[in-house]
């Protein structure tokens, strides 16, 4: 389980339910509805971590910088004291297993795209803002992954601060604690909304692209949605396109996760432009260079800008939230059993949550009581013992 400190806002009349092992109090429903958040699996804590996101409601965006953990069918909010990233969405984020940390760069905030670099130290339960000498231009929607052999974060593309789409490749080297631009000669088209994973069984960085465009003298000539697979070699500093057939429809703002047990990349949903959103699920086998579609029912409704992560302990994928074309924003949690290919929705029975929001115009706080649950406003936070 993850986290060491929670803000308690709800108590059951019949008592408080404590999680096994570390004394976390579970919020049975979890995070509020949102899109553009990021998720990653922490194998040491055996939980999925969720950070940030936003919601469009009442003609304004509300940006989140809250942190949640999911394990054993329940969500728990982690309260982190001290400095922390501002609220943001469409966030490049990746888990660093060697350091037991989350790594975050940029995203879209209340003012614009941003270009700050953060790590969340899971064991210490604290956010740390890094101050590298150099760094990528501000952006959101970039593809990012951690190369476990070379111990570097690799990031490609994204949506820039001046509404420009990017095609640059950057690495963050932990030995130097600094960003380095790589400038490979061959690379994918400028794009945003794609995702990248690290294939740990084959020691390969694999990317499924997003919304690409071709420009001349700043003018848009054509655009589309990538459906090819790309491999990046850090040693050779080169991108290689891997053609496959059959394959998923091109898209962006989809979900991508990596099955560390079976060595397969898992793709779900997204948008392929206009009024079209998707709810299909595909598996990519790098060794065979082949895609296969999972066609079982039920499945999550069509959506984009959701997030998901693979849990190795349960051989399953956890998916949360996202948005629909009619501007509805989801707060549902779905589990994909990778072995059977069956999606199952986690049913919410009662609510207990606290959220830290950064919105325009300001901060909001809410709690809902159902049935025998009553809400207490507790002015202090309890530090829970591990």
Assigned domain for 33 exists: no
pLDDT of residue 79: 95
pLDDT computed for residue 70 by the predictor:
97
Give the β-pairing of 74-78 and 93-96: unpaired
| Rounded Cα gap, residues 24 and 39, in angstroms | 19
Residue 235 has pLDDT above 60, yes or no: yes
Give the pLDDT score at 381. 35
Instruction: Tokens 């919304």: give the residue.
Output: 211
Average pLDDT over residues 353-365: 42
Q: What is the pLDDT of residue 217?
A: 81
Q: Residue 212 falls within a domain, yes or no? A: yes
φ, ψ at 22 (rounded to 5°): -120, 5
50-88 pLDDT, tens digit each: 999 999 988 899 999 999 999 999 999 999 999 999 999
Residue span of the structural domain in which 77 resides = 38-346
Mean pLDDT of all residues in 121-127 = 98
Contacts of 332 (CB under 8 A, 6+ apart): 300, 320, 321, 345, 346
| pLDDT, tens only, 319-344 | 999 999 867 899 999 999 999 999 99
Does 362 reside within a domain?
no
Given a cut of 90, is residue 228 above it in pLDDT?
A: yes
Q: Lowest mean pLDDT of 23-27, 253-257, 349-353, name the range.
A: 23-27
Q: Once rounded to an integer, what is the mean pLDDT over residues 3-29?
A: 36
pLDDT at 2: 64
In a domain, 379, yes or no: no
pLDDT above 60: residue 285: yes
pLDDT in tens, 126-135: 999 999 999 9
Note the pLDDT tens digit of each residue in 87-118: 999 999 999 999 999 999 999 998 899 999 99
Euclidean distance between CA atoms 318 and 255, whole angstroms: 11
Strand partners, 146: 153
> pLDDT band at residue 366, thresholds of 50, 70 and 90?
very low
Q: What is the mean pLDDT of residues 353-381?
A: 37
Whether 108 is in a domain gets the answer yes
233 or 374, higher pLDDT: 233
At 5, list the tokens: 């400190």
Q: Which of 1-15, 38-52, 132-146, 291-305 has the lowest mean pLDDT?
A: 1-15
User: Terminus-to-terminus CA distance in the chain, angstroms?
Assistant: 10
Q: Is 322 left (phi over 0), alpha (psi -120 to 50) or beta?
A: left
Please give the Cα distance from 154 to 116 (Å, whole number). 16
pLDDT given at position 344: 97
* 138 found inside a domain: yes
Q: What percent of the chain lies above the pLDDT cut of 70?
A: 82
Mean pLDDT over 297-314 rounds to 97
Domain of 78: which CATH number? 2.120.10.80
Per-residue pLDDT band for 29 (boundaries 50, 70, 90) equals confident
Answer with the residue of higher pLDDT: 100 or 378: 100
pLDDT, average across residues 16-23: 28
Indicate the number of domains in the chain: 1
**Quick check: is 14 in a domain?**
no
**Which of 39, 26, 95, 86 has the alpha carbon at shortest distance from 61?**
86
Yes or no: say if 157 and 142 are a contact pair by the CB < 8 Å rule. yes
In this prediction, residue 193 carries a pLDDT of 98
Question: 20 lies in a domain?
Answer: no
When the pLDDT of each residue in the chain is averaged and rounded to a whole number, the result is 85
pLDDT at residue 231 tops 90: yes
């Amino acid at each position: 389980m993850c986290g060491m400190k929670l803000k308690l806002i709800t108590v059951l009349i019949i008592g408080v339910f404590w999680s096994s092992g570390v004394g976390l109090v579970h919020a049975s429903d979890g995070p509020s509805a949102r899109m553009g958040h990021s998720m990653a699996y922490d194998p040491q804590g055996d939980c999925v971590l969720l950070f940030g996101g936003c919601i469009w409601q009442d003609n304004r965006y509300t940006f989140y910088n809250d942190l949640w953990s999911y394990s054993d069918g329940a969500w728990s909010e982690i309260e982190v004291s001290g400095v922390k990233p501002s609220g943001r969405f469409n966030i490049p984020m990746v888990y660093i297993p060697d350091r037991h940390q989350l790594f975050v760069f940029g995203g879209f905030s209340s003012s614009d795209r941003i270009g700050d670099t953060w790590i969340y130290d899971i064991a210490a339960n604290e956010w740390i803002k890094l101050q590298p000498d150099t760094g990528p231009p501000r952006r959101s929607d970039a593809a990012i992954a951690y190369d476990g052999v070379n111990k570097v974060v690799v990031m490609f593309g994204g949506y820039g601060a001046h509404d420009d789409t990017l095609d640059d490749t950057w690495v963050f080297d932990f030995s130097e604690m600094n960003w380095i631009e790589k400038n490979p000669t061959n690379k994918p088209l400028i794009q945003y909304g794609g995702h990248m994973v690290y294939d740990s069984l084959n020691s390969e960085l694999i990317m499924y692209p997003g919304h690409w465009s071709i420009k001349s003298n700043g003018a848009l000539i054509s655009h589309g949605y990538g459906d090819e697979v790309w491999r990046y070699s850090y040693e050779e500093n080169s991108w290689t396109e891997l053609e496959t057939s059959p394959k998923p429809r091109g898209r962006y703002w989809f979900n991508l996760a990596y099955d560390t047990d079976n060595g397969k990349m898992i793709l779900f949903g997204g948008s392929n432009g206009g009024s079209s959103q998707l709810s299909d699920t595909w598996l990519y086998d790098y060794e065979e260079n082949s895609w296969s579609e999972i066609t079982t029912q039920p499945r999550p409704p069509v959506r984009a800008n959701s997030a998901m992560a693979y849990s190795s302990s349960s051989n399953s994928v956890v998916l949360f939230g996202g948005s629909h074309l009619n501007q509805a924003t989801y707060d549902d949690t779905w589990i994909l059993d990778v072995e059977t290919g069956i999606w199952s929705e986690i049913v919410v029975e009662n609510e207990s949550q606290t959220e830290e929001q950064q919105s325009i115009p300001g901060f909001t706080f809410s709690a809902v009581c159902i049935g025998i649950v009553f809400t207490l406003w507790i002015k202090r936070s309890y530090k829970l013992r591990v």
